[in-house]
Amino acid sequence: DNVPEKEAKEKNIVVRYPSKETIDIIFEETACFTCGLIFRMLYSNVGTLDPWVKEPRRQLSQQNLLVIGVGKIGSQVAQLMKQFLNVNTFDILHNEESELKPLMQQADCISIHIPNINDNISFIDSQKLSWMKSGAALINASRGPIVNEDALYVELQNNRLIAAFDVFWQEPYCGKLKEFFPDHFFMTPH
């Protein structure tokens, strides 16, 4: 998304992309990393050491994961996580739009894997965030602008949701959501 192909061509700079084998490795690594973020967020409140407080752990087999977008990465995330969680998927190419709200309402964790196209800018907006359960986690490893930053800020500020992102609206990220790092907004560099 960030390669200025037109400008490169004008300056006679050759742009080459990774081979299919390399891309498959990148997809697999991103899917596995996303699974790690899902586990991290589902186990984000296990207690404290000082003072010694043990919180009850979630029974993963009773948790619901919603994977939005089942392309190369989303489909791998869904397949890997089926071993641990109840997994539902939503993809505009396979589902009716009306199916999204009930799926989001029952999800304990939502993982986003949709492309960064104009129709998807702020796809996760204040309305869709309001559909999520209190205490649910939002994982974004696709592109930052898919989620409305201001709407997510309100949800995090109200301690209603938690989130983990490795993609941002500008990178390196210096935005307002950093105030919630690491407990309510876990961040890793893309």
* Tokens encoding 190: 């893309």
* Tokens encoding 160: 């209603």
What secondary structure letter does DSSP report for 109? E
Q: Which of 113, 143, 155, 184 is the catalytic position?
A: 143
- In DSSP terms, which residues pair with 64 in a beta bridge? 86
Q: Which of 29, 99, 179, 190 is the catalytic position?
A: 190
Establish whether 143 is a catalytic residue.
yes
Establish whether 184 is a catalytic residue.
no
Q: Which of 29, 55, 171, 179 is the catalytic position?
A: 171
* Tokens encoding 97: 């739009």
Instruction: Using alpha carbons, select from 157, 163, 62 the residue that is nearest to residue 106.
Output: 62
* Tokens encoding 111: 């993982």
Establish whether 190 is a catalytic residue.
yes
User: Catalytic positions, please?
Assistant: 143, 171, 190
